[in-house]
Structure 1
Amino acid sequence: MRAVTRTAPAKINLGLDITGTRADGYHLLETVFQAVSIADTVTVALTESPEITLTCDVPAVPCSPKNIAWKAAQRYREAAGLQSGVQIQILKRIPMEAGMGGGSTDGAAVLLALQELTGNALPQEKLLEIAVSLGADVPFFLYGGTAYGAGIGEKLEPLPLFSTDCLVIAKGTAGVSTAQAYGAIDALQNPKHPPVQQLRKALEAGGTAAEIAPLCGNLFELAVELEEVQQIRSTMLEQGALCSVMTGSGAAVFGLFPNRESAESACAVLWKQVPFAEVCHTL
C-alpha cells in the first residue's frame, strides 16, 4: 500500500477584512494570507476496501465526515471516479480554534496527496473547485506562500514572499467558533476597516517587517472579545513587537518582531501566560 506524507502548514492573516455578504449568505473577504512553519503532518494512502478512514493523535479532532480532510477525500473520490478507499493519518501540531487554518490545511494536504497517488487524476481547475467547496482557506493551502485573497477566498493572487523568522504566534485556552465570529461581525456598526489594499501594495513593493507592520490588522478583533487575546497582544507589544494582531476569526495572535532575540524573549514570557507560544518563520 503506497502512502504519501505531506507537511500541512498553518497560516496567519497579515490583514483581514469583511467587505460584504453574498446573496447566498457567504461573507466576502479581503485578506493577505501568509503560510508559516507551524504545521501538521498528513499521510494518505489508497486502500483496497472502499471506506474512508481517518485517525489523529489529538483526541478532540473529529475523525468522522465532519472533518474537512474526510470531506476532501470523499469529494476527490467522487470527482475522479475512484473505487478505492482512502486512509488518512493526521499528526496535529496546529492549535485548534485558532484562526490558523488547521482543518483547512489538512483538507488541502489530502487533495494534493491524492493527486500524487493518482498521477493527477483531476485537472487543477477541478481541484480548486473542490477546495472552494470545502472552505474559504482551503484554496490558499493548495499554493501557500504569501497571497492576496478575495471573494470567499477563491480569488487568489500570489504576492512576493514575505520572509521573516522573527514571528511569534501564541494562543490561550479559549477558542472561537467561526460561525459565532461571523455572527459578531454582522452585528458591528460602522467599524474601522483594516487597510488591506495598502498592505497588499506594500508587499508588492517588497516591504520590510517594519514597513508592513503598521498596515497589519483584522476586523475580527472588533467582533471577538476575548481577554486572553488582549493579554497576548499587550505582552507582545510590551516585549517589542512591531505589531500584534489576531489571526483569522481567532483566537491565536501573531507578533512581528524586529529581530530573533526579541522574538525568543517574548515567547519565553508568553509561555508563562498561555499554553501555546512558538517562534516560527514564514514559508
Structure 2
Amino acid sequence: MRVKTAAKVNLALDVTGKLPNGYHAIESVFQTVGIYDEVTVELTEKGIELSCDVPERFASSDPIPCDERNIAYKAAKLFFEENGMNLGCRIHIKKGIPSQAGMGGGSTDAAAVLYCLGKLTGKSVKAPEKLGADVPFFLTGGTAFVEGIGEKITPIADYSGHILVIAKGKEGVSTAEAYGNIDALTVPVYPNAKMLAETIEKAPEKAYEWFGNLFEQAVQLEEVDDIKSVMLGNDAFSAVMTGSGSAVFGLFESEEQAEICAEKLEKAGYFSAVCKTVPESFIITE
C-alpha cells in the first residue's frame, strides 16, 4: 500500500507551562498542508526493513536516520508488538517534507505506517502518542486545536484551501534546545491559539491576524527573519515560523503572488514551495 502523507504547520503555537514529568504543555492550532512524503508499506513474513529516498538538498543539512532509529520503523515495531502479530514489513519513504523544519515530517511518516498496516491487517494501535506527541494528529489531519503535550486534539472548523508559501533555510532547530530557550525567555509575548480557533470558526478571512509562534522569540534564527521579511515584502498577509523551527509559512491571497514570492526565496537559496492547506493527512496512491 502506498500513501502520500501530509506535513503540518502550527498556525499558532504557545507554550503554557512545564509539567511535573518535564514535558511542556502547549496550546496550538495544527493544520495539514499539501507538502507530502510518500510512504510504501508491504507486509512480509518477518523483520522490518526500511529504505529512504532523501533529496540531496535535505540530506546535506538534515541527516535522516534510515534504520531502527527512524520513527516509521518504531511505528511498525509498536504495531506488531501491540497486536501480537508474528509478521514483518518493508517500508520505503520518499521524502518531500524537509526535516528539522517544525512540519512533523517524521511523525507523519509514523502515522502513515500505522494507517497502512491498519488497512492491510484490520488492526490498530491504542496509544500512537507513545511514538511522539504529533502522531495522533496525523492519523486524521485537517484543522485542530491541540492542548497538553499534543495528545488532546479537538477538530475545529475546516481551514483548508488557503494558499501558502513554505520556505526553509539550512539551519535546523533541535526541539530540546528550542524548549530550553523557551524556559529562559524573560518577557515573552504569548500568541492566542484559542482566539485563532474561534476566529477560524467565525471569521476565517481574519484568522491570519491571530497567527503566531512563541518559539520565534526563543530560537531567533537569522534565516527565519530573512524569509519572513521576503514574504511580508511580497504581499503575504502574515508570515510565521512553524513548530520549534525552522520552516516559515506565509499566507497569500493568490497563487500568482505566492509563486512570485517562492521564486524569490528559491533564488536566495532557500527551499521554497507553494501549497494549500488540506483537510486530511493521507492520499492513497496505490
TM range (shorter): over 0.9
Q: Name the CA shift for 1:63/1:222 in 2 (closer, same or farther; >3 Å).
A: same
Query: C-alpha separation between the residues in 2 aligned to 1:84 and 1:264?
Result: 46
Question: C-alpha displacement at 1:22, in angstroms?
Answer: 1.3
What is the 5 A alignment of 1:104-183?
104-119=107-122, 121-122=123-124, 126-127=125-126, 129=127, 131-183=128-180
Contact 1:13 1:34 in 2 (8 A): yes
| Correspondence for 2:273 | 278
1:35 aligns with 2:38: no
The CA deviation at 1:165 is 4.2
* Amino acid aligned to 1:85: G
CA distance in 1, matches of 2:229, 2:96: 25
Q: Secondary structure at the match of 1:241?
A: coil
- Paired residue for 1:98? 101
Residue type at the aligned position of 2:118: Q
Q: Deviations over 1:123-165 (max 9, x none)?
A: xxx43x1x21111211110011111100111111111111334
* 1:52 aligned onto 2:48: yes
Relative to the length of structure 2, the TM-score reads: 0.92
Distance 1:63 1:172 in 2: 23
Instruction: Map 1:201-280 to 2 at 5 A.
Output: 201-208=198-205, 211-280=206-275
State percent identity of aligned pairs: 52
Q: Distance in 1 between matches of 2:269 and 2:77?
A: 37
* Bigger relative CO (Cα 8 Å, ≥ 6 apart): 2
Q: Which residue is equivalent to 2:89? A: 86
CA RMSD of aligned residues (A): 1.1
Unmatched runs of 5 consecutive residues or more in structure 1: none
- Work out the CA distance in 1 between the residues paired with 2:119 and 2:111: 13
> What SS class does the counterpart of residue 64 from structure 1 fall into?
coil
* In structure 1, distance between residues paired with 2:92 and 2:267: 32
**2:204 alignment partner, SS class:** coil
* Distance in 2 of aligned mates of 1:274 and 1:12: 21
| Structure 1 letter corresponding to 2:161 | T
CA distance in structure 2 between the aligned counterparts of 1:188 and 1:108, rounded to whole angstroms: 33
Q: How many residues align?
A: 271
Residue in 1 aligned with 2:281? none
Q: CA deviation at 1:10?
A: 0.3
TM-score normalised by L of structure 1 = 0.93
User: Unaligned regions of 5+ residues in structure 2, if any?
Assistant: 279-286
The structure 1 segments of at least 4 consecutive aligned residues displaced by more than 3 Å after TM superposition are none
1:16 paired residue number: 13
Deviates more, 1:265-274 or 1:97-106: 265-274
In the TM superposition, 1:177-196 aligns within 5 A as 177-196=174-193
1:37 partner amino acid = G
